[in-house]
Amino acid sequence: MALEGKTVLIREERDEDMQFLVDLRNDLDTQGFTKSLPTDYTLPMYRKRFEAAEFSYERDSARFILEDKASGERAGLISYYGHHSRLSVVIGIVVSKQYWGTGLAFNAQETLLEFLFEELGVRVVRIFTNSGNPAAMGLAERSGFKVCSRLREAVFRRGGLYDNLNMELLREEFYDRRSDLTDNLPKI
């Protein structure tokens, strides 16, 4: 079953998504924080990862395809990983260039955040980005994330040095911003 936002569907990745993911991952414009330069992700690499995934009721990570509800087209990828039961999780989002500035990334991020806080009961969500990616910083800040740690000039990208940023959103901050939702977990 897909998660549904106002403008986006968030669904599990499928075998037919592999080439889309390779193309998205190998595009330097969509990779705000790549660790492998030059990018050289291949279809067999993605297919191997996809086929190696095993079903578990205790998933600490998940990768989802973003689909534009209006067109049905793939629009990007959103994921969470490092989930520690009811404590913390890290999210990441990559959106195709044609969807930049459309609000789709914000809607996807908000939909995933609602799932993480409401269904998984996490206390804090983290995002890692860098100061050379103002779009990612702005997207995170729009959802209430705050910079909580900074490694100065730790990222070299496109000929410049940028700060490595850890941004966090606490459970209380999420619910303070989302008056349409009620936090039913007891305060710690």
pLDDT (tens digit per residue) in 28-46: 777 765 555 566 778 888 8
Distance CA 110, CA 16 (A): 26
Give the pTM. Answer: 0.91
Q: Are residues 80 and 61 in contact, defined by beta-carbon separation less than 8 angstroms?
A: yes
H or E stretch covering 45: helix 43-52
Q: How many domains does the chain have?
A: 1
pLDDT the model gives residue 34: 53
Amino acid letter, residue 30: T
Q: Return the CATH number at 117.
A: 3.40.630.30
H or E stretch covering 149: strand 146-157
Domain contains 73: yes
Q: Which domain holds residue 37?
A: 3-177
